[in-house]
Structure 1
Amino acid sequence: MKFRSPITLLFSFASFQACKRSCEDQLVRYPFGSGPECGDPRFQTSVTCDQEKLTLTIHTGTYNIETVDYDNHVVYILDPSMTTCTTFPPSKVIVLDWDSPFTFTEGNFFALLGCSITSSPLYKSRNGDNGTVVPLCDNEGAPLCSLLYSCPAISNQNLPISSCCVYTPVDLGPAFDMDLQKLQCVSYAAVYSFNGQDLKPESWKYGVALKYKFSVKNDFPSACNICERSNGVCGYTGAYNLFICNCAGGVNTTTDCYFSASWNNCVKLLSWKPGFFIT
């Protein structure tokens, strides 16, 4: 059978595994996927749909992804051990792997809480030029600390405001190691948006914003763009992780899903075959 279009399509019927466009109520788009061979293989182990919840697994644990900004390539996670205006748990270390496709965004505000004023390295950093003491805390972050320390969950700890450090560890590289034990701090709060309520910490958006990259140039793959426009889901297959466009019913093509719907009945009839070409 001949198409008018000269495009050659490869249909695969090996598994009929359909990639989902959502994980419960969360949209799932490239580079993330709902299961094996869905999305980009570089993100397969880090972002998964676990029990109908989109999660991120990094060096220090697994975190729920609250939302994804696909236009700006940012995921927002909530660390359950992080302090907010209503909770003050002992925080853990949060570290990104050195080869991670994620980096911390510049829009994050990290407030380290209950830090030792006398022995924390945050207050003992030295300028290499003249040896003067230059704290790693941002002096302009003092108002942020005052507002945070007014929250009941934090004020009940009876910690002096001076033990709060608004910290931007740009000198530790893109995967910075925020080791609270090493920094001698009790907990931390992360804010990625003040939600238009600068003076109301109870209304701020707490969490960590992480930027993700597809590749060195961070270009969105054109083949994936075409696939998604045809209501397909971008995926990969085989030992070399070759691109596939996953269509309704689990049909995989090498281009798009515009023609797959017409062949759904044929696909079901020939599902016993490992694959065939149509030209």
Structure 2
Amino acid sequence: MGLKHSSSLFLFILFIFFFLSSQVCSQACLKTCGQIPIKYPLGTGSGCGDSRFTRYIKCDPDQQTLTLTTHTGCYPITSVDYTKQIIYVTDSSMSTCACTRPSQGFGLDWDAPFSFHDDTVFTLLDCSVDESPVFKPLSNSTGRVSLCDRQSSSICNFLYSNCRAISLINLQESTCCVYVPLDLGPSFEMDLQKLRCSSYSGFYNLGPAQESHPENWNYGIALKYKFNVFDEYPAVCGGCERSNGACGYNTQTSSFVCNCPGGINTTSDCFFLYNSASILLPWISTGAWMIYPLSWVVSWTVMSLP
């Protein structure tokens, strides 16, 4: 009888391991996208990262590119500074010192979980002096006054004098308007058609001693994000990432889950994978995966045997 019980127990455990190997797949939430590491609150698809970011940031598995999508277009993410909580994106229609091209502008959705970083500066190019709202008519109708940042007028001077592509626009420097994202208003909308401008340029962190060298400026858009209202990093997520997991969420309940190597989700971390005294089994009533001490499994199996 003892031999029969031992054989049955062995077969049961063997079945469990075969069942696990056939049911789990590769980790659903990727740890990298191309050359960019992925950490909370960013994710690579549905169920990964923070649910508030899912509709805006995705990873293309074929091109291995991380992108930001807003109502104005889709923009590649060039890098992420997780320490400073900054996302850097680029716009292919943006004018730079190397190339000037027409653009539709750039805008953020009003409910997006990020906003423009203070280092981001925009420059409107080729604006109509007579029709653009950035040039406000004087009350005595004797002319127009620019609503642009006059203290940053040197930026326009350097763009026109040191960038051949921009100088070829062949317009007066007054049509170059420098302003910070705050001037876009609460909607964070830069509609070049309404502004009556044909192009724009965005940059951040000009770099030390680089103000007069626009060819070396960091062209793009810097966006800052918060973890939540109080901007607190979730402690449970930290434990998940330290155990080589990826922070995610249940797509049905939006509750936190830790996505572990092997495609297994838990509500804590992935340390159980390195604990030989535990085993992961399917919970038949819900289909979820549960962690059980191996001693429990053996005891339960023996008790269940005839």
- Give the TM bin, normalised by the shorter chain: 0.7 to 0.9
Going from structure 1 to structure 2, the CA distance change for 1:176 and 1:276 (only over 3 Å counts) comes to closer
CA distance in 1, matches of 2:269, 2:124: 49
Compute the TM-score of the two structures, normalised by the length of structure 2: 0.78
Going from structure 1 to structure 2, the CA distance change for 1:205 and 1:226 (only over 3 Å counts) comes to same
1:166-185, aligned counterparts within 5 Å?
A: 166-185=178-197
1:132-143, aligned counterparts within 5 Å?
A: 135-143=146-154
CA distance in 1, matches of 2:255, 2:113: 20
User: Is the partner of 1:225 in helix, strand or coil?
Assistant: helix
Asked if the contact 2:278/2:291 (under 8 Å) is kept, the reply is: no
Within the candidate set 79, 88, 92, 2:100 is matched to: 88
| 1:251 aligns to 2:261 (yes or no) | no
Asked if the contact 2:245/2:261 (under 8 Å) is kept, the reply is: yes
Q: What is the match of residue 145 of structure 1?
A: 156
CA distance in 2, matches of 1:212, 1:190: 19
Give, as a single letter, the amino acid of the residue that structure 1 aligns with 2:136: K
Within the candidate set 241, 245, 253, 2:254 is matched to: 241
Q: Which runs of 5+ in 1 are unaligned?
A: 1-10
1:258-269, aligned counterparts within 5 Å?
A: 258-262=271-275, 266-267=279-280
| 1:222 aligns to 2:235 (yes or no) | yes
Asked if the contact 1:103/1:175 (under 8 Å) is kept, the reply is: no
Q: Which runs of 5+ in 2 are unaligned?
A: 1-19, 294-306
Asked if the contact 1:63/1:78 (under 8 Å) is kept, the reply is: yes
Asked if the contact 2:279/2:291 (under 8 Å) is kept, the reply is: no
User: Is the partner of 1:260 in helix, strand or coil?
Assistant: helix
| 1:207 aligns to 2:241 (yes or no) | no
Asked if the contact 2:123/2:200 (under 8 Å) is kept, the reply is: yes
The structure whose RCO (Cα within 8 Å, separation 6+) is larger is 1
Give, as a single letter, the amino acid of the residue that structure 2 aligns with 1:122: V
The total of aligned residue pairs comes to: 262
| 1:30 aligns to 2:43 (yes or no) | no
Shift of 1:276: 3.2
Asked if the contact 2:48/2:247 (under 8 Å) is kept, the reply is: yes
Identity of aligned residues (%): 47
Going from structure 1 to structure 2, the CA distance change for 1:137 and 1:106 (only over 3 Å counts) comes to same
Shift of 1:47: 0.5
Asked if the contact 1:125/1:136 (under 8 Å) is kept, the reply is: no
Q: What is the match of residue 59 of structure 2?
A: 49
Q: What is the match of residue 5 of structure 1?
A: none
Within the candidate set 266, 274, 292, 1:278 is matched to: 292
Going from structure 1 to structure 2, the CA distance change for 1:37 and 1:14 (only over 3 Å counts) comes to farther
User: Is the partner of 1:186 in helix, strand or coil?
Assistant: strand
Q: What is the match of residue 79 of structure 1?
A: 91
Q: What is the match of residue 231 of structure 1?
A: 244
Compute the TM-score of the two structures, normalised by the length of structure 1: 0.85
Greater C-alpha radius of gyration? 2
CA distance in 2, matches of 1:168, 1:188: 13
